[in-house]
Structure 1
Amino acid sequence: MLTEILNTNEFLKQGKTILYPTDTVWGLGCDATNFEAVSNIYKLKNREESKSLIVLVSSIFMLKKYVSVPNKALEILKNTNKPTTIIYNNPKGFAKNTIAEDKTIAIRIVKDEFCRKLIKRFGKPIVSTSANVSGENTPKSFKEISQPILDGVDYIVNLHQSKENIKSSTILKIVGEDIQVLRA
């Protein structure tokens, strides 16, 4: 695993795109602070830049460097075992094409050991979006990822390629004291 972390980290530092296993489905990723790298993810997915992406961080400590974390969000994060993405207001330090038009960003503290260690070593958040062309079904395993995606990324992580994940993360938005479930 260490070799894959080191290799992947080098590609991320160079602003390259990666295909990697997450705590949910296989993801396309890059440095979430690099505008050009994020643009390349949108091109690879054939996705409009107005549609936002999820960003992964390694810890609550890293999360707090980029967004103000409401107490309600902290409570949710400390009490969930399921991959949970929360939408935060007014992020700072991200590439502007990771931020939605309403000045929000979707962030998940990743549970997967590889992802957590990779992000910690990289020292910055990384983009995580499903490994498919926009409009196609989300692949549930590595073998379901389409050839244009495989050919289009700069680096493919050689871990967990036989593992099957069928569930995306829950997405929540906190508005005042209310919690809105955007994806269960």
Structure 2
Amino acid sequence: MLMTTTQQAASFMIQRYDLEGAAAVLENEGLLLLPTDALWCIACLADDPVAIERLKRIKKGQGETTFEILFSSLKMLKEHAPLLHPRLETLLAFHRRPLTILTDAGPQIRSNSLMPDGRMAARVVHDEYCRGLIRMVGRPLATTFAHFDDSPYPDHFGRIRSDIIESVDYVAKYRPREASTGMPTIMVQLDQNDELDFLRD
């Protein structure tokens, strides 16, 4: 039992050190690679215009760069999406698989991280590392998948191209070999009749 406790304490300390390193990079207009509930992503602070433009340059030539904005809780999302529809809120509260919703964004979210129609692709994360990092910086993250169109989805660190790794300022040390779901999240919006419309499942 003592060994298990010691291992848990060591794991906590490593993760804390890792989170602090990632947070320091984010707060200085930095980019990082990190695992999420679904795939590995490149991330920056969602209210940092300089970092968002840096992130876009990495994906230049890949068509329109789309971002998912990650929140640590439903409460945090509602602070940045004051017009969140009750049907989407209910779906987020009870849906257990990684889920992205399209909704109107509040003024704190930079316009250059929004969808072409001005809405926000928002996700409440359940991944322990992601959630801890967002809580530490106190701000949502703008993310895009860490791959190019001609490469596999980055379901673990080994699938990420070296040129992407070299373009960021920090790589999370959390579960580098562990595979994720291997697919993008489910994406849903409300149609004109306020019915759920699944754009990606």
TM-score of the pair, normalised by structure 2: 0.86
CA distance in 2, matches of 1:51, 1:85: 16
Q: Which runs of 5+ in 1 are unaligned?
A: none
What residue is the counterpart of 1:174 in the other structure?
190
What residue is the counterpart of 1:97 in the other structure?
112
Residues 124-168 of structure 1: CA deviation (Å, up to 9, x unaligned): 110121111344332221011001001110100111101112122
How many residue pairs match? The answer is 184
Contact persistence 1:42–1:49 (CA under 8 A): no
Among 141, 146, 153, the alignment partner of 1:131 is 146
TM-superposed CA distance for 1:52, in Å, is 2.4
For residues 14-163 of structure 1, the aligned pairs below 5 Å read 14-46=28-60, 50-67=64-81, 68-163=83-178
Contact persistence 2:66–2:144 (CA under 8 A): no
TM-superposed CA distance for 1:46, in Å, is 2.1
Residues 60-81 of structure 1: CA deviation (Å, up to 9, x unaligned): 1111111121100111011111
- 1:55 alignment partner, SS class: strand
CA distance in 1, matches of 2:45, 2:172: 15
Identity %: 24
Contact persistence 1:141–1:162 (CA under 8 A): yes
Q: Which moved more, 1:99-108 or 1:109-118?
A: 99-108
TM-superposed CA distance for 1:101, in Å, is 2.7
TM-superposed CA distance for 1:51, in Å, is 3.7
TM-score of the pair, normalised by structure 1: 0.94
Q: Which has the larger radius of gyration?
A: 2
Letter in 2 for 1:41: L
Letter in 2 for 1:40: R
Letter in 1 for 2:74: I
Please list every run of at least 4 consecutive aligned residues from structure 1 whose deviation after the TM superposition is greater than 6 angstroms.
none
Q: Which runs of 5+ in 2 are unaligned?
A: 1-14
